[in-house]
Amino acid sequence: MAQVALEGIHKVYPNGFEAVQTCSFVIQDGEFVVLVGPSGCGKSTLLRMIAGLEDITEGTLRIGDRVVNDVDPADRNIAMVFQNYALYPHMTVAKNMGYGLKNRGISKTEIDAKVQEAAKMLNLTDYLDRRPSQLSGGQRQRVAMGRAIVRQPDLFLFDEPLSNLDAKLRNQMRIEVRALQRRLGTTAVYVTHDQVEAMTMADRIIVLNGGRIEQIGTPKEIYSTPASTFVASFMGAPPMNVLNATVSSDKHVTLDEGLELPVAAPAASSGPILVGIRPEDLTLGEGTTPFDVQIVEELGAQRLLHGTLGGQAFSVSVNKDHEAGTGTIPVSITPGAVHFFSREDGFRI
């Protein structure tokens, strides 16, 4: 169990590429933190710096009370689950799980006991004598988890561990991983590019973009008050509609194409602005704003309507019992559900 503190952590590769810009945050003891962002945003680099697989260019990293910048990965008391599981192909499941313990000089009987215990927790008892190649993807994933938990680490690190599984198994493992972490109470850092995983699993989400932290917050905070247009469009599926608009001196919000939106402009702004509206914060068939529907996507529980609003791309999500077709239809915007962002840097106003 440990708190992880990053102070002014910064990573520049020898070729000059700045993978992670200076960042500081604290992960509380027992917390499940998800690092999320598109590929190349630096989330894996950040995780690998915490693991010790990547050198830290600048800054201080603490796990518990210890500064671990120069501590070998094996001595940081962490465990990591990799995307491709990274199981040792020539070892049985039991040996895979016990290898780290064996290297620490723990006695054979104690290793056996710990492996048995972990195997029981993960329903792997029947597979202990098998090789990884004889297991299914989900079972391999469990072995990788088992290898992590037998060591009773201070910190779990997950590097997109569910990406290689099919959708159904992924949903199931998502819940299992979360439940296991809750039960063990071990601090966890989880990297993913999947915003659903981030939203469902995290105590707190850290959204990264281009090596920079865009926002840190609970899933609810991230969703309801995104700090920038990047967070707004990255978190949530379908993404938030972001429209170019202008705030006039008398506080009217007008889209660039001339259509006026019936929303209250933010107090301290005027001139060009970005208006964000989530697709589910709109009601069809009411109000006065014309929405030109071009494509209807059937999702079962919902329907997604894609089209244009005042000439800009726009989507609306409606319930399954709401009939929808193409053509122009009036929509009303739920009051208070409108987000405003600066047009210069994309940050929230």
Continuous segment of H or E residues that includes residue 60: strand 58-63
Burial class (CB in 10 A: 0-12, 13-18, 19+), 123: exposed
Give the SS3 label for residue 216: strand
The span from the CA of 291 to the CA of 314, in Å, is 8
Nearer to other proteins by Cβ, of 87 and 198: the residue is 87
Nearer to other proteins by Cβ, of 99 and 347: the residue is 99
Beta bridge partners of 155: 78, 187
Does 100 participate in binding other proteins (rule CB under 8 A)?
Answer: yes
Applying CB under 8 A, which part among 32-40, 85-93, 283-291, 324-332 lies near other proteins? 85-93
The span from the CA of 30 to the CA of 208, in Å, is 22
Rounded (10°) angle between helices 93-103 and 108-121: 130
The span from the CA of 90 to the CA of 131, in Å, is 7
According to CB under 8 A, which one of 15, 39, 109, 133 is a site residue for other proteins? 133
**Minimum distance from CB of 83 to other proteins (Å)?**
8
According to CB under 8 A, which one of 89, 258, 325, 336 is a site residue for other proteins? 89
Applying CB under 8 A, which part among 86-94, 109-117, 182-190, 219-227 lies near other proteins? 86-94
Restricted to residues 139-198, the positions that interact with other proteins (CB under 8 A) are 147
Nearer to other proteins by Cβ, of 57 and 312: the residue is 57
According to CB under 8 A, which one of 99, 194, 308, 332 is a site residue for other proteins? 99
Angle at 315 between CA 166 and CA 174, to 5 degrees: 25
Burial class (CB in 10 A: 0-12, 13-18, 19+), 111: buried
Nearer to other proteins by Cβ, of 84 and 136: the residue is 84
Restricted to residues 55-84, the positions that interact with other proteins (CB under 8 A) are 72-75, 78-80, 82-84
Rounded (10°) angle between helices 108-121 and 137-149: 130
According to CB under 8 A, which one of 104, 120, 182, 220 is a site residue for other proteins? 104
Continuous segment of H or E residues that includes residue 243: strand 241-247
Nearer to other proteins by Cβ, of 186 and 209: the residue is 186
Does 51 participate in binding other proteins (rule CB under 8 A)?
Answer: yes
According to CB under 8 A, which one of 15, 16, 70, 103 is a site residue for other proteins? 103
Residues in contact with other proteins, counted by CB under 8 A, come to a total of: 23
Nearer to other proteins by Cβ, of 53 and 121: the residue is 53
Which structure tokens are listed for 108? 């054979």
Give the SS3 label for residue 203: coil
According to CB under 8 A, which one of 12, 86, 184, 349 is a site residue for other proteins? 86
Burial class (CB in 10 A: 0-12, 13-18, 19+), 189: buried
Chain contacts with other proteins (rule: CB under 8 A): 51, 53, 72-75, 78-80, 82-84, 86-90, 99-100, 103-104, 133, 147
